[in-house]
Amino acid sequence: MSINLRTVYAFAREMYPKTSKETIQYGTAGFRGKAEFLDSVMFRMGVLATLRSRYRGGSVIGVMITASHNPEPDNGVKLVDPKGEMLEASWEAIATDLVNVSDQELEQQVAKIIKDNNIDVTTSSQVFVGMDNRYHSPRLLKAVADGVIALKGNVKEYGIVTTPMLHYFVVAANTKEAYGKPTEEGYYEKLIKAFELLRNGRLENGNYRNSIIYDGANGVGARKMLQFIKRMKGSLNVTVINQGIGVGKINEDCGADYVKVQQRPPKSMPEVEPFTRCVSVDGDADRVVYFFTDDKGEFQLLDGDRIATLVAGYLMELVTQSEINLRLGLVQTAYANGASTDYIVDKLKFPVSCVPTGVKHLHHKALEYDIGVYFEANGHGTIVFSDNAKATIAQAAETKESAKTLLLLIDLINETVGDAISDMLLVETILNHKGWDVQDWISSYNDLPNRQLKVKVQDRNVIETTDAERVCVKPEGLQSEITKVVANYKRGRSFVRPSGTEDVVRVYAEAATKEDTDDLAYEVGLLVQKLAGGVGPELTKPNSAHL
């Protein structure tokens, strides 16, 4: 099989010319931006995915078209490596270079990637492509497919799927179906079978009630939840709101990010009884948060930190009951609420690691444990099990019921990536087994009030951090000033980090009271403005007696 690289250039020039001169960078979320500027990016990612597949000996590579929790006019693309993980870091730079060259330089750039990585272009390649339900996704999917075809690769189009489903398909295919069947039905079947075996016919238990309100963010997660319901034989009663079918825009006034950031239910939330269990996913269903309204009408959030503590505690119980010796660990970022960390360390006695923000850092660290739990506060996370853990649990399951439960949990969990639906079914399983409702769950510890600010600066690169972003090393003197300010507040904690995408510095603060938290965030924000080249108006001072 011979490949003429002129075909790539001709395709690009005639059908997918580069229309934007702005440099874009491949980050944790891949490439994101306004959909009208992404056709050339998509075509080139199809080309890159084909090369990556050949580089990895013909393994399946995934391409997911989504902008996740971004507004509907945006779209994006990210590549999925053979084990379902994020694209290898060294290839992020290759991707960035490839999408930023001019159409005239494209042929030469592709030839350079082939030469630098010693890729045999005569071998076969396989690329799986999925998309969310944005109106421009089908057009962008065709661009990816054409990029694959331009280099004579094989492409399989899955149409509208969640991001975690595409990750599952890639792993299932690359493990010769040991992980499951690489089909939509195979995905439903694997999760539902494990969920229903774990429920074992006991749909209600103690304070747990078998019904839930599910906010689908008008995204693909709503459509797929409706498919789950059809197949679940009443094992969970789910009412889906924000279905996105004919009405409502993706993530607009709904979804996990809206609920987490605004600290309120979706705008279209129906009236429900106090303490009704509600769940929100984001646009591509890789984040999940729970919430409810109490009997005083106050909104209460159960975010990724809460899910992590619930899961960690339950797994520890099962491992202890199974009398097996495994290394357990929970991975957090600096954004994890200090109260959750205290609860995990002091009450659960569960080892905790802190890593920089970003899923790839969390996933990588979790792999160091036999059972690694990671969740970001935004609701993105999963649990990974080592081969040693799986073998040890399987052996113990011959005689221990608790180990049998662990084996079923492994099937219920999508280890490849945060999966909102899989994570929700896991939470429902744990609450059912414990006989808990949301009141029992939230009462395990009290969150510290926290506040986040964005401070505009001339150049975000003046901020450098260490110790998993908890300590600022540049500009000199900023950290010592932050430390002095924090010392004035009971249970105070604050850190600053540069944004990955814009010239702003993000400030996080928490303290014993909401007033103290607002004041601490303000004081640290002022320090950033003063010592890190702040631009724009000075931060507004909160009305407080502390300052």
Position 182 in a domain:
no
User: 223 and 162 in contact (C-beta within 8 Å)?
Assistant: no
pLDDT values of the chain reduced to their tens digit, one per residue, 547 residues = 666 777 777 777 788 889 888 888 888 789 988 989 999 999 999 999 999 999 999 999 999 999 888 888 899 999 999 999 999 999 999 999 999 999 999 999 999 999 999 999 999 999 999 999 999 999 999 999 999 999 999 999 999 999 999 999 999 999 999 999 999 999 999 999 999 999 999 999 999 999 999 999 999 999 999 999 999 989 999 999 999 887 889 999 999 999 998 889 999 999 999 999 999 999 999 999 999 999 999 999 999 999 999 999 999 999 999 999 999 999 999 999 999 999 999 999 999 999 998 888 899 999 999 999 999 989 999 999 999 999 999 999 999 999 999 999 999 999 988 999 999 999 999 999 999 999 999 999 999 999 989 999 999 999 999 999 999 999 999 999 999 999 999 999 999 999 876 789 999 999 999 999 999 999 999 999 999 999 988 888 776 555 5
Position 540 in a domain:
no
CA distance 496 to 519: 15
Residue 500 assigned as binding residue: yes
Per-position DSSP letters for 238-286, written without gaps between them: EEEE---SSS--TTTT-HHHHHHHHTS--TTPPP--TT--EEEE-TTS-
Phi (first) and psi of residue 150, to 5 degrees: -60, -30
Position 174 in a domain:
no
Residue 497 assigned as binding residue: yes
Exposed/middle/buried for 115, CB within 10 Å: 0-12, 13-18, 19+? exposed
The CATH number that applies at residue 502 is 3.30.310.50
Residue 14 assigned as binding residue: no
CB neighbours of residue 425 within 10 Å: 24
Tokens found for residue 360: 């790839």
The answer on 315 and 290 residing in a single domain is no
The answer on 155 and 29 residing in a single domain is yes
The answer on 467 and 435 residing in a single domain is no
40, 68, 322, 422: which is the annotated catalytic residue?
A: 68
**Is 235 labeled as catalytic in the residue annotation?**
no
Residue 282 assigned as binding residue: yes
Handedness of CA 83, 84, 85, 88 (dihedral sign): positive
∠ CA 101-105-110 to the nearest 5 degrees? 85
Residue 265 assigned as binding residue: no
The pTM (predicted TM-score) of the whole model is 0.93
Q: Which residues are within 8 A (CB) of 217 and not within 5 positions of it... i.e. 6 or more apart?
A: 69, 242, 244, 250, 251, 254, 255, 256, 258, 280, 281, 282, 283
CA distance 386 to 355: 20
Q: How far is CA 286 from CA 120, 336, 378, in A?
A: 35, 18, 10
Q: Are strands 126-131 and 60-65 parallel, antiparallel or unpaired?
A: parallel
The CATH number that applies at residue 147 is 3.40.120.10
Domain count, the chain: 4
Last residue of a domain, one of 298, 315, 338: 298
Position 180 in a domain:
no
Residue 377 assigned as binding residue: yes
Position 110 in a domain:
yes
The CATH number that applies at residue 196 is 3.40.120
User: Domain of 321?
Assistant: 304-443
Position 462 in a domain:
yes
The answer on 315 and 270 residing in a single domain is no
The answer on 496 and 434 residing in a single domain is no
- Please give the DSSP secondary-structure letter assigned to residue 446: P
Q: Which ranges in 22-154 belong to alpha helices (H)?
A: 39-55, 89-100, 103-116, 137-150
The answer on 508 and 372 residing in a single domain is no
Residue 68 assigned as binding residue: yes
Tokens found for residue 351: 């080892």
The answer on 348 and 205 residing in a single domain is no
The answer on 362 and 269 residing in a single domain is no
User: 510 and 338 in contact (C-beta within 8 Å)?
Assistant: yes
